[in-house]
Amino acid sequence: MSYFRLRRMAHAQPPLIDTIEAFLAAHSMSAITFGRKALRDPHFVSQLRAGRRCWPETEAKVRQFMEQHSARREAA
């Protein structure tokens, strides 16, 4: 996926941190567990809350993780 397509996708969706916060609440998942499962980075969410920026590719990977996790949970 191209960089520009990822940027357009990022602008069409709610802010990543808002989406993550809603996901954490809906799935009763801790921020550390989320970071480990999505990116192998337990500090990702806390750093994002503190203002960390992330690359469009990283955002796409996180959003993909949330979609797949939700789909697996619904299928079970």
Domain span at residue 16? Answer: 3-75
Res. 30: pLDDT tops 80: yes
pTM passes above 0.85: no
Largest Cα span, the chain: 35
pLDDT digits (tens, 9 = 90+) for 34-54: 999 999 999 999 999 999 999
Whether residue 66 contacts residue 23, with contact meaning beta carbons closer than 8 Å, is answered with yes
Domain count, the chain: 1
